[in-house]
């Protein structure tokens, strides 16, 4: 089958789905995007957009409109309980002129959805897809939770997030693990104690991590996250909020003003992290994009960026291929080294910052300040943070 004028069904309007919808509709395909949420809700924590993700947004044509709704991030600064810098990474040192951008999921999503509609994609809200079925000739169909059948399609994209119910139905080998640790998060107004251009974090043992990410908008917002063991969340909800704030303040005394914006437990949301492993991200007339194919913990802050790059890589692979099967195989091949590096690095790094192994925290506090003094190592850390690595020595081609 040729790769032009395809009928494409996309499941999930998070990051990967709408980005793929724009690029594929613009390439002349007929695109229908199915999302289970009843409407576009302003949900989700702040996140850090990296130069890689920004490149895709520039290609889509929404970056300049997004920029005023972001906070320009120049530096990641992480200190230990004694106030020593574990990481002090400035983009500028290794990548002149490069910045990150703190922003909100809903802000980005609104721009992507508008671009998708303008490109001719059809967006169907309140469509929870329950089943990936096949016609007798093998073409995929989608069946929603009400039993309504959609399709058949020439191609289905699974962009339904880390807890994808459809990936197992695609017949692709995969494995999903939930991390025992996640985060409580809250978005409030940024007080002057937190620099507008720095992702600032402080760690205690591996059981204590707090972070503050400026996320822009005209209200000058700050995203706060506090590491929590998921098994302890119910106890935290039933516990004394002031006692919890005192724990946070022991680590971040300058956060007193910010924490005064939190008056109830339900102002904080809980984020769980997953580790999804797949050997390839395509099957017969099916491709998997974003967290559904390679969710990772947010330790390196890459999830949104990887999802955007998946969308661009798939659109490019289809445009360059003679047949759909070739295009899908090229997509998996194009993503292998980049995804492999970030999944490996994230799995390796996460227990040093969030785990029940305090000895790893002691090792971290000994090694990281030393490693950060070595210029080559620091430059690799910055390039990793920027989303540009494909291996210890490899780099994304720009």
Interface positions with ligand FAD (CB under 6 A): 11-17, 34-37, 45, 47-48, 128-129, 159-161, 165, 183, 185, 225, 271, 290-292, 298, 301-305, 307
Task: Note the Cα 290 to chain centre separation in Å.
Answer: 8
Nearer to ligand FAD, 126 or 320 (CB): 126
Q: Which structure tokens are listed for 229? A: 């063991």
Q: Least distance (Å) from ligand FAD to the CB of residue 323?
A: 26
Q: How far apart are CA 66 and CA 123, in angstroms?
A: 21
Q: Least distance (Å) from ligand FAD to the CB of residue 43?
A: 9
* Overall size of the chain counted in residues: 398
Nearer to ligand FAD, 43 or 374 (CB): 43
Helix axes 16-26, 105-118, angle to 10 degrees: 20
Nearer to ligand FAD, 109 or 365 (CB): 109
Nearer to ligand FAD, 48 or 111 (CB): 48
Q: Which structure tokens are listed for 27? A: 């390439």
Q: Least distance (Å) from ligand FAD to the CB of residue 166?
A: 6
Q: Least distance (Å) from ligand FAD to the CB of residue 128?
A: 5
| Closest among 108, 104, 102, 118 to 25, alpha carbons compared | 118
Q: Least distance (Å) from ligand FAD to the CB of residue 37?
A: 5
C-alpha count within 13 angstroms, C-beta hemisphere, residue 25: 24
Q: How far apart are CA 136 and CA 140, in angstroms?
A: 10
Q: Least distance (Å) from ligand FAD to the CB of residue 113?
A: 11
Nearer to ligand FAD, 346 or 365 (CB): 346
Nearer to ligand FAD, 201 or 365 (CB): 201
Contact 240, 246 (CB under 8 A): no
Residue 150's SS3 state is strand
DSSP code per residue over 80-107 = -TTS-EEEEEEHHHHSTT--EEEEEHHH
């Amino acid at each position: 089958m040729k790769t032009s004028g395809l009928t494409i069904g996309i499941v999930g309007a998070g990051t990967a789905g709408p980005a793929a919808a724009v690029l594929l509709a613009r390439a002349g395909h007929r695109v229908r995007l199915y999302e289970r949420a009843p409407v576009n809700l302003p949900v989700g924590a702040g996140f850090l957009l990296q130069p890689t993700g920004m490149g895709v947004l520039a290609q889509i044509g929404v970056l300049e409109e997004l920029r005023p709704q972001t906070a320009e991030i120049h530096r990641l600064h992480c200190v230990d309980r004694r106030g020593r810098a574990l990481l002090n990474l400035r983009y500028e040192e290794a990548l002149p002129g490069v910045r990150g951008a703190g922003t909100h999921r809903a802000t980005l999503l609104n721009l992507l959805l508008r671009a998708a509609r303008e490109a001719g994609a059809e967006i169907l809200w309140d469509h929870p897809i329950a089943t990936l079925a096949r016609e007798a000739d093998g073409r995929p169909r989608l069946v929603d939770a009400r039993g309504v059948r959609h399709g058949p399609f020439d191609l289905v994209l699974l962009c339904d997030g880390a807890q994808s119910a459809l990936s197992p139905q695609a017949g692709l080998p995969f494995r999903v693990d939930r991390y025992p640790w996640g985060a409580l998060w809250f978005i409030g107004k940024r007080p002057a104690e937190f620099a507008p251009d720095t992702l600032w974090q402080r760690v205690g043992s591996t059981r204590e991590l707090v972070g503050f990410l400026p996320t822009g908008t005209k209200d000058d917002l700050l995203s706060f996250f506090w590491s929590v063991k998921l098994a302890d969340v119910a106890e935290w909800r039933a516990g004394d909020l002031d006692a919890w704030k005192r724990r946070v303040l022991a680590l971040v005394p300058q956060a007193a003003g910010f924490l005064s914006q939190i008056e109830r437990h339900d102002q904080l949301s809980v984020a769980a992290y997953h580790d999804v492993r797949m050997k390839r991200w395509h099957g017969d007339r099916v491709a998997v994009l974003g967290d559904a194919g390679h969710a990772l913990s947010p330790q390196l802050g890459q999830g949104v960026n990887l999802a955007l790059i998946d969308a661009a890589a798939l659109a490019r692979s289809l445009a360059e291929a003679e047949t759909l099967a070739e295009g899908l195989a090229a997509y998996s091949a194009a993503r292998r080294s980049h995804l492999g590096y970030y999944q490996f690095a994230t799995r390796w790094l996460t227990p040093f910052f969030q785990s029940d192994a305090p000895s790893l925290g002691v090792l971290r506090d000994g090694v990281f300040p030393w490693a950060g003094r070595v210029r080559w190592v620091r430059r690799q850390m910055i390039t990793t943070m920027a989303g540009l690595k494909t291996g210890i020595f490899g780099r994304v081609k720009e």
